[in-house]
Amino acid sequence: MYEELEKVRLACETCHKCPLGDLRTNSVFSDGVPNSKLMLIGEAPGYNEDMQGKPFVGRAGQLLDKIFEAVGLSREKDVYICNTLKCRPPENRDPLPAEKTACRPYLDEQIAILKPRIILLCGRVALTSFLPQASSISKVRGQWFDGPYGSKMMPIFHPSYLLRNPVKRPGSPKALMWDDIREIKRVYDSLSD
């Protein structure tokens, strides 16, 4: 499994299937535990991720770590983290459809090799990559969908959105995220290793 994954990672490092390949400092393949039951798919690398070659290492990533830690999960032990795009779009703009199409086989290979039991679609870009018919993240977050290889898939808010909406009161994005992460942990604990 690790050898196959390493081949895909190396292919990303030298990829020029879309113009973002010419702009990157580093491709950003993954972080966390490859044989985890839980995979989180974000959007695309930002400035910090491009510099360090690791997903979710900026402010949004720190909040993501805190959310996992709140239910006793960590990227060092329990979670595999990756993105829909492996290279940073300039000025952190939304990924273009052509970029998503070019990069998609890498993500599909990550999923096919690792076969996670739970896939979290973190934010709108990941959501529409897997559930194109879904109207908005607010409508579908917290719900379970059937994912690839028999996995359970749940859309969740992106931590950047939570940083922009920091108030925690009943029904707010932060409160809903708290409900979602507890439900994720409940299902995570119910799955055999």
Contact string 14-43 vs ligand URA (x = CB under 6 A):
----------------------------xx
β-partners of residue 145 are 153
CA distance 12 to 17: 9
Closest to 90 measured CA to CA, from 45, 147, 142: 45
Which residue, 94 or 189, has its beta carbon nearer to ligand URA? 94
Q: Specify the residue, 104 or 186, whose C-beta has the smaller distance to ligand URA.
A: 104
* Of 18, 36, 49, 156, the one binding ligand URA by CB under 6 A: 49
| Total residues interacting with ligand URA, rule: CB under 6 A | 11
Complex with ligand URA: residue 18 or 122, whichever CB lies closer? 122
First to last CA, the chain: 16
Q: In the set 21, 32, 46, 155, which binds ligand URA (CB under 6 A)? A: 46
Q: Count Cβ atoms below 10 Å from residue 165 Cβ, excluding itself.
A: 13
Q: Where are the beta strands (DSSP E) in the chain?
A: 31-32, 38-42, 79-83, 118-122, 145-146, 152-156
Considering only residues 107 through 146, tell me which ones interact with ligand URA, judged by CB under 6 A. none
**Spatial distance between the Cα atoms of 123 and 104, rounded to a whole number of angstroms:** 16
Choose between 18 and 60: whose C-beta lies nearer to ligand URA. Answer: 60
Q: Which of 73, 83, 2, 84 is nearest to 38 (CA)?
A: 73
The interface with ligand URA within residues 56-85 (CB under 6 A) comprises 56, 60-61, 83
Footprint of ligand URA (CB under 6 A): 42-46, 49, 55-56, 60-61, 83
